[in-house]
């Protein structure tokens, strides 16, 4: 099923920051989205994180190739009409997707 927005977060390590980034996406007021996490060869195990099993989250792992390659890996996986990128050490404000989607 297609969604309005696919959010792609490429990451390698930085798990404490990644948790906050993921939480900021899952707390969006706009709910018609999927979250694609592209793990660029982290040494930390994220399989135990609760958001890995969240219905809106899709987790993919690749061998380390850098953040650009991880973003590019996320694009063909996206099912949304629009794509938003978020770095793993950054946050979305709660209304970010809603405000931007309404402006499209």
Average pLDDT for 39-53: 90
Indicate the number of domains in the chain: 1
pLDDT at 66: 95
Q: Specify the pTM.
A: 0.95
CATH code, domain carrying 30: 3.90.550.10
Encode pLDDT of 70-93 as tens digits: 999 999 999 999 999 999 999 999
Encode pLDDT of 4-24 as tens digits: 999 999 999 999 999 999 999
User: Does 1 score more than 80 pLDDT?
Assistant: no
Q: Are 22 and 4 in contact (CB under 8 A)?
A: no
Neighbours of 39 (CB within 10 A): 21
Q: Give me Rg for the CA atoms of the chain.
A: 13
| Residues spanned by the domain of 10 | 3-103
pLDDT at 52: 86
């Amino acid at each position: 099923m297609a969604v309005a927005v696919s959010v792609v977060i490429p990451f390698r390590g930085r798990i404490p920051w990644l948790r906050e980034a993921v939480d900021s996406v899952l707390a969006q007021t706009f709910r018609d989205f999927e979250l694609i996490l592209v793990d660029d060869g982290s040494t930390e195990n994220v399989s135990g994180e609760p958001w890995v099993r969240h219905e809106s989250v899709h987790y993919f792992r690749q061998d380390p190739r850098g953040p650009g390659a991880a973003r590019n890996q996320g694009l063909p996986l996206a099912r949304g009409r629009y794509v938003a990128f978020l770095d793993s050490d950054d946050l979305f404000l709660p209304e970010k997707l809603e405000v931007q989607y309404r402006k499209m």
